[in-house]
Structure 1
Amino acid sequence: MRHPPPLTALFGGAALTLVTAVSAAAGVGPGATAPLGCSVGYATVNQWAGGFQAAVVITNNGAPTSGWSLGFHFTGGQHLTQGWGATWSQSGTDVTAANESWNGSLGTGASVTLGLIASWSGANPDPTGFTLNGLPCSAGSGSSPGPTTSPTPTTTPTPTPTTGAPELSVSGNRLTDPSGATRRLLGVNRSGGEFMCVQGHGVFDGPVDDTAVQAIADWKANAVRITLNEECWLGLDNIRPEYRGAAYVGAVKELVARVLAHGMTPVVELHWTYGQYTGNSTGCLDVHASCQKPMPDARYAPAFWTSVANTFKDDRRVVFDLFNEPYPDRATATPEQAWACWRDGGTCPGIGYEVAGMQNLVDAVRATGSRNLVLVPGIAYANDLSGWLAHAPSDPAGELAAAWHVYNVNSCADESCWNSTLAPVAARVPLVAGEIGENTCGHAFVDRVMKWSDDRGLSYLGWTWNTWDCSSGPALITAYDGTPTAFGLGLRDHLRTLDGH
């Protein structure tokens, strides 16, 4: 969905703590006052068995430079697998990160943030021997705390549900639990994680504490879709330090844990991504992840899914939704070009950045060893699934479901279209309506969507559990205690009739 009204900034004033802050001098004699050369901050943002994600902040304390190269040594047998913000390479224990064309200028006092994913075994000590353009930057401490000045969320103990969220698998065209029973995902979207951080306001829009998650469960929802921003997760330096990297990842993990504790399935989804798009139906001219782009980008999206999959791969109750609303069809000349771009990515007609296709993202998830259920949306803002079966990405785990979005303003917004284009897909693979909604502040349209889906045993999630004015975008609630809007009343009352699902 495209998207909420502007928000008032809530600046916190916290800053990322550089864990290694040291200086180097060049060309000065004994006893002279040495000009500061550089400082480097290194922090492990996320770690899992066999791998980790780290953020590296370089600050130039010397003369301005039009190009830079960072070097350091891994000392624990770590091996670089992915990196962003620079051109990365590794030879033996030596790692090098050279500037990209767009971030080579580094003035005095300026900083740049890089990120990497690497493998490890046994131990994962911090790197040593940092250099910038060949000059030593550190004899550093080696500790890796996250941001120490960010406020620590208060964790309220969560109750143990009587029935928990199951591990989900694909069985033909059904979602099933370990006993083989059919399961449906019926619930809501929780928007905010895609836009609050990039706008500099926080991580989530409104409370996500135990009381707030309990209010969702009280509607008898059994699933919550959590919308995310790749730049915030990966810790890119255009995001405020207190809302990126470790702080952001930690907040998302806490919300996922609360959703699970209330017996609901968390669906983590990539919503906003990097890449400048100026073509038909552009959402913004910004290269950064500040609006919906037609396709995920090859620069950061695979790294995002590598990190997310590694974070949650040991819990198959967590579902992955690859990308919010692809619309390569608005940029390309023919449906076949659009579907080819959707699946294969690369250089796509009409899109000015390198695209990660759905196959690239499935491959990134499965390369981690994850067997979590993966949702793959169609084109035309996920409303068109007419080419989904013919172009579906291959999945060695066999755990793919089709995702679609439907609003009363979409092209495919009636039973005739659903019968002709969606029913054939639903006959072959599980079909999940990741977003349903309408712009009328009522629920006549979603009532029809829910009936059509119920008749076929399909899944659906209402957009959205946020307290926006429903005239500016479908909002289910007027307060985070679960008080419904007129639109939300339809979904809430219907879910309660399906208690037990």
Structure 2
Amino acid sequence: MRHPPRSGLLLVGAAVALVGTAIAPTVTASGATPACTVEYSVTNQWDAGFQGAVKITNNMASVSSWSLTFDFAQGQKVTQGWNAKWSQSGTSVTAANENWNGSLASGASVSAGFLASWSGSNTAPTGFKLNGTACNVDGEPTPTDPPPTDPPPTGEAPKLHVSGNKLVDAGGATRRMLGVNRSGGEFMCVQGYGIFDGPVDDAAVKAIADWKANTVRIPLNEECWLGLSNIKPEYGGANYIAAVKDLVAKVEAHGMTPLVELHWSYGQYTGNSAGCSDVHATCQKPMPDAQYTPSFWSSVAGTFKDDPAVAFDLFNEPYPDRATSTTTQAWTCWRDGGTCPGISYEVAGMQDLVDAVRGTGAKNLILAGGLAYSNDLSQWLTYKPSDPTGNLVAAYHVYNFNTCASESCWNSTLAPVAAQVPLVAGEIGENTCSHGFVDTVMKWFDDRNLSYLGWTWNTWDCSSGPSLISDYDGTPTSYGIGLRDHLRALNG
């Protein structure tokens, strides 16, 4: 899905100077652990304003809500912020948790940022307090309720593999992938806001399971996973990988299949249907890039190769057909990569990515979407990549506004594919804030015992997202009701 980008809070003009000032937390010489630590930094500063950030680490017992207070001594005024509810009275500033990031376990951290005005000098504040307890100083943690224990796992995620044109589990039982997409990991980090959009704690994952979903597709960003220099360190590399692994573990703990997927990638493309002109991974590109994508998949596969419950989706929505002159050129580019007509960067084809995954020894299930934003599978079988494990699945995306969005097209182009290999509709959706179209999609796929995942488990506008929920507790939108009720009827 070419979802709307998250609105930018950090547009402060071309005159911004990156200053990168960081103030580390202070710990006294005795070596005792402070009850909490706060790292304050100024990341951008210009003539009359600046961008600041705080990273709060709770060393006390777990809390279900938090409030950070500090004083600006030189007239600085907070004008807006994110990842917290910011307010200021005189010199006193308060950052209180949002409804989705209030839980802060012992040893856990949370980051928030803000924009503010200044004049004269911009000395960093001191005297940080978390829920009234002084931070960055020695002291015994303030007693609070004991940290809650995570609920026991409610199931075991199946270890799926291909058998003919079916997905089966380790016991040979036929399975379908039925669930949702959990967007956020593809864009939050590259835009500098965080790692995921909204909560991904156990309660948030349980809410998905309560819809009777059995699969969660997790879109990723290759620059964030690889920790490239344009990504904030707190959101990239090891921190990003750890967050993804944690979400994967939570999904599995609720008996659901985690489907990790490369959504946004490197490579400059300004041709037909370009999503952006940026060389960085800030939008959907027509094909994966040879410079970073094979490395991304080698790393991802190496991370999860010992967990056969994790499935891989190679690339969100290829569209080399918008760049090339002929369909043959497009499908050849899709499979073989290299120098593709109309695409300025060196392309990694689907065969390159299958090879990257299998080169690690990983035998996990692999999905590969076709042309036209994964809406065209007409020659998928002809150009099917070679997989030595025989564990390759055709991926398909369909929305009400796509070209192949009718039963006649599905009968002519999808049915022949589904007769030979498993077929998963990795994204289904509509921009009507209703569910009439996805109801039709689900019936066609149900009749053939095929798989589908709704876009998307995020609280956006259902007409522009489109979004399944209005709250991360699982409250459905009028569009999401269709998928929720259908999954519950199938798996309840």
Aligned counterpart in structure 2 of residue 250 of structure 1, from 222, 242, 249: 242
Larger displacement relative to structure 2 (270-279 or 160-169): 160-169
Tell me the residue number matched to 2:208. Answer: 216
Q: Aligned pair in 2 of structure 1 residues 14, 158: CA closer, same or farther (>3 Å)?
A: farther
Report if aligned partners of 1:157, 1:210 keep a CA contact under 8 Å in 2.
no
- How much does 1:14 deviate? 10
Distance (Å, rounded) in 1 between the aligned partners of 2:276 and 2:198? 24
In structure 1, what residue type is equivalent to 2:395?
Answer: A
What is the SS of the residue equivalent to 1:159?
Answer: coil
In structure 2, what residue type is equivalent to 1:6?
Answer: R
In structure 2, what residue type is equivalent to 1:2?
Answer: R
What is the SS of the residue equivalent to 1:389?
Answer: coil
- How much does 1:267 deviate? 0.2
TM-score (norm 2): 0.72
- Equivalent positions of 1:408-447 (< 5 A) are 408-447=400-439
- How much does 1:158 deviate? 3.9
Deviations 1:136-171, CA, capped at 9 Å, x for gaps: xxxxxxxxxxxxx99379x97543445321101100
Does residue 352 of structure 2 align to residue 360 of structure 1? Answer: yes
Tell me the residue number matched to 2:342. Answer: 350
Tell me the residue number matched to 2:469. Answer: 477
Aligned counterpart in structure 1 of residue 178 of structure 2, from 182, 186, 197: 186
What is the SS of the residue equivalent to 1:390?
Answer: coil
Aligned counterpart in structure 1 of residue 374 of structure 2, from 382, 387, 394: 382
- How much does 1:472 deviate? 1.6
- Equivalent positions of 1:32-431 (< 5 A) are 151=109, 157-431=149-423
Distance (Å, rounded) in 2 between the aligned partners of 1:333 and 1:386? 17
Distance (Å, rounded) in 2 between the aligned partners of 1:356 and 1:336? 17
What is the SS of the residue equivalent to 1:370?
Answer: coil
Distance (Å, rounded) in 1 between the aligned partners of 2:436 and 2:176? 22
Distance (Å, rounded) in 1 between the aligned partners of 2:491 and 2:249? 22
Distance (Å, rounded) in 1 between the aligned partners of 2:284 and 2:477? 26
- How much does 1:473 deviate? 1.9
Tell me the residue number matched to 2:135. Answer: none
Report if aligned partners of 1:187, 1:224 keep a CA contact under 8 Å in 2.
yes
Report if aligned partners of 2:155, 2:253 keep a CA contact under 8 Å in 1.
no
Does residue 480 of structure 2 align to residue 493 of structure 1? Answer: no
Tell me the residue number matched to 2:3. Answer: 3
Deviations 1:187-242, CA, capped at 9 Å, x for gaps: 00000000000000000000000110010000000000000000000000101111
Tell me the residue number matched to 1:146. Answer: none
Deviations 1:233-267, CA, capped at 9 Å, x for gaps: 00001011111101100000000000000110000
Distance (Å, rounded) in 2 between the aligned partners of 1:171 and 1:470? 37
What is the SS of the residue equivalent to 1:259?
Answer: helix
Distance (Å, rounded) in 1 between the aligned partners of 2:230 and 2:164? 43
Unaligned runs of 5+ in 2: 12-19, 25-106, 112-146
Tell me the residue number matched to 2:67. Answer: none
Distance (Å, rounded) in 2 between the aligned partners of 1:496 and 1:7? 34
Identity of aligned residues (%): 74
- How much does 1:361 deviate? 0.1
Deviations 1:407-427, CA, capped at 9 Å, x for gaps: 000000000000000000000
Unaligned runs of 5+ in 1: 18-148
Distance (Å, rounded) in 1 between the aligned partners of 2:172 and 2:217? 24
Q: Aligned pair in 2 of structure 1 residues 352, 10: CA closer, same or farther (>3 Å)?
A: closer
In structure 1, what residue type is equivalent to 2:109?
Answer: P
Q: Aligned pair in 2 of structure 1 residues 15, 204: CA closer, same or farther (>3 Å)?
A: farther
TM-score (norm 1): 0.71
Distance (Å, rounded) in 1 between the aligned partners of 2:393 and 2:466? 25
How many residues matched?
367
Deviations 1:363-421, CA, capped at 9 Å, x for gaps: 00000000000001001000000010000000001100000000000000000000000
Distance (Å, rounded) in 2 between the aligned partners of 1:157 and 1:325? 39
Q: Aligned pair in 2 of structure 1 residues 408, 156: CA closer, same or farther (>3 Å)?
A: farther
